[in-house]
Amino acid sequence: MAEQKKMVEAITSMDEDFAKWYTDIVKKAELMDYSSVRGCMIIEPYGYAIWENIQKILDGRFKELGHENVAMPLFIPESLLQKEKDHVEGFAPEVAWVTHGGNEKLQERLCVRPTSETLFCDHYANVIHSWRDLPKLYNQWCSVVRWEKTTRPFLRSVEFHWQEGHTMHATAEEAMQETEQMLKVYADFCENDLAIPVIKGRKTDKEKFAGAEATYTIEALMHDGKALQSGTSHYFGDGFARAFDVTFQDKENKTQYPHQTSWGMSTRIIGGIIMTHGDDNGLVLPPAIAPIQVIIVPVAQHKPGVLEKAAEIEAELKKNFRVKTDSSDQSPGWKFAQYEMKGVPLRLEIGPKDIEKNQCVIVRRDNREKTFVPLDELSQRLPELLEAVRKGMYDKAYERRAQMTYTAQDMDELKELADTKPGLIKAMWCGDLACEEQIKNDAGLSSRCIPFEQEQVGCKCVCCGKTEGLRMVYWGKAY
């Protein structure tokens, strides 16, 4: 087991240096590599396989709800971006511009898309004419560019991959229903597939998406007590439609502006998976998106029949699970550490004594619990064990969030908690921007969301002491 110990020591402890721990994992688990382009990363096969599994699950759910995939251009003419004032002002600091084509200077600069609302609206103006053309339920999978000053793998990079849904509806009610429905899709995905407990709520006007009337979010808490915005859904009203002159004739033959939504989840969620579930031995991956759900490790594989039995088990399990056998000449101890590093949910050990007893050993990654399973029952038992891993991961993350969530009654208490207790702080807020900015300046906390599930955790605004129009808000430090 000396080799395993050496592997484990290669990861910085999260308690010692959380940022270094995170970087160690993304590198040593071979999720990404640094590129020659500042702030851009190379997503390696194992990391991209995680994204493909996320993509497959979400894409299926979008299509079940009637959404269709499209592909919009990478470039946006400057004049198009300028059509919606709040939108362009919100993104101006992050925009990358193309000024030349070959050796010739372009007559009009082209923006490398930071998001695609303007492109979709330009298209919708050409294809929406009648109420019969609505709703338009479009989504695209692509990469976008935002010129970030400070970057970290997956969490914040100049170029990142995502999906962006853009829909148009005949009425405000239909658009709001879509906005809330898609937030629920993200929340269900995080909790049921990624085993990440999330808080659903609305962003304050200060924190909402540029150009949106309302932004809804799911917020997750990481190991270090910082929050991660994990998915957002926006209601735009008819603001973009008016700016881009998107109109339709309703059933009474009157000209109307449609109401718009957009919603997205990105590769940033991979960082969220790492920081929610990982430990000092590496990744801990939820079964639903793990590239390998079961790793088969032959023990004493030089002995007759061991590799053959491992191959037989793999062939049977591959019908329903993502399975791999490691028959390399590395020691079993090295393999144990390697696949713990990669976060594989279940390890299946099979050796000569196991074959004699017609059984194998299954070890869970989340808690290292060992189970002896008869080979005849393996296909039936694996779904139970994978679900036990998912539930164990969720419960652990939920309990940690509960332990790292506090309440504050006034600014002194809020600042003390911000300085001494990493995590989320629940406190009442009067709704004034001045109070929100003072909390940011004095306590270093941003409003994470106004949760749908409201609680009365005080009788006055934590900042100014007002007692009218109070809402409970989650405050925290965030990625």
Residue range 310-365, pLDDT digits in tens: 999 999 999 999 999 999 999 999 999 999 999 999 999 999 999 999 999 999 99
In tens, the pLDDT along 144-201 reads 999 988 899 999 999 999 999 999 999 999 999 999 999 999 999 999 999 999 999 9
Asked if 424 and 362 sit in the same domain, the reply is no
Q: How confident is the model at residue 6 (pLDDT cuts 50, 70, 90)?
A: very low
**Res 33: pLDDT:** 96
Domain that holds residue 316: 294-385
CATH of the domain at 469: 3.30.110.30
Asked if 97 and 237 sit in the same domain, the reply is yes
Average pLDDT rounded to a whole number, residues 439-463: 97
Asked if 455 and 380 sit in the same domain, the reply is no
Asked if 443 and 301 sit in the same domain, the reply is no
10 within some domain: no
Whether residue 472 has pLDDT greater than 70: yes
Average pLDDT rounded to a whole number, residues 104-108: 96
**Res 64: pLDDT:** 98
Q: How confident is the model at residue 1 (pLDDT cuts 50, 70, 90)?
A: very low
CB atoms within 10 A of CB 362: 19
Which positions ≥6 away from 390 have C-beta within 8 Å?
Answer: 195, 286, 287, 288
The pairing of beta strand 255-256 with beta strand 248-249: antiparallel
What's the number of domains the chain is made of? Answer: 3
Q: How confident is the model at residue 210 (pLDDT cuts 50, 70, 90)?
A: confident
Asked if 381 and 421 sit in the same domain, the reply is no
Element (H, E) at 337: helix 332-341
Q: Distance of alpha carbon 306 from its chain centroid, rounded?
A: 40
Last residue of a domain, one of 277, 302, 319: 277
Asked if 195 and 339 sit in the same domain, the reply is no
In tens, the pLDDT along 65-90 reads 999 999 999 999 999 988 877 776 77
C-beta of residue 148 within 8 angstroms of C-beta of residue 157 = yes
250 within some domain: yes
192 within some domain: yes
390 within some domain: no
Whether residue 106 has pLDDT greater than 70: yes
Asked if 455 and 311 sit in the same domain, the reply is no
Whether residue 4 has pLDDT greater than 70: no
In tens, the pLDDT along 268-324 reads 999 999 999 999 999 999 999 999 999 999 999 889 999 999 999 999 999 999 999
Asked if 137 and 228 sit in the same domain, the reply is yes
The pairing of beta strand 346-350 with beta strand 446-451: unpaired
C-beta of residue 3 within 8 angstroms of C-beta of residue 334 = yes
Q: How confident is the model at residue 2 (pLDDT cuts 50, 70, 90)?
A: very low
Last residue of a domain, one of 350, 385, 420: 385
Q: How confident is the model at residue 478 (pLDDT cuts 50, 70, 90)?
A: very high
Whether residue 55 has pLDDT greater than 80: yes
Asked if 90 and 195 sit in the same domain, the reply is yes
Asked if 238 and 345 sit in the same domain, the reply is no
In tens, the pLDDT along 390-426 reads 999 999 999 999 999 999 999 999 999 999 999 999 9
Asked if 353 and 209 sit in the same domain, the reply is no
CATH of the domain at 66: 3.30.930.10
**Res 9: pLDDT:** 57
Burial 204-241 (b: 16+ CB within 10 A, else e): beebbbbbbbbbbbbbbbbbbbbbbbbbbbbbbbbbbb
DSSP 8-class letter at 44: P
User: Collapsing DSSP states into helix, strand and coil, what is residue 445?
Assistant: coil
Write the single-letter amino acid at 38.
Answer: R
Q: How confident is the model at residue 3 (pLDDT cuts 50, 70, 90)?
A: very low
CA distances from 275 to 202, 231, 334, 367 (A): 23, 16, 24, 17
Quick one: tokens of 65? Answer: 């709800």
Average pLDDT of the chain, as a whole number: 95
CA distances from 183 to 9, 34, 59, 240, 264 (A): 40, 32, 15, 21, 9
Q: Using CA atoms, how far apart are residues 192 and 17, in angstroms rounded to an integer? A: 30
Could you tell me what percent of the chain has a pLDDT over 70?
A: 98
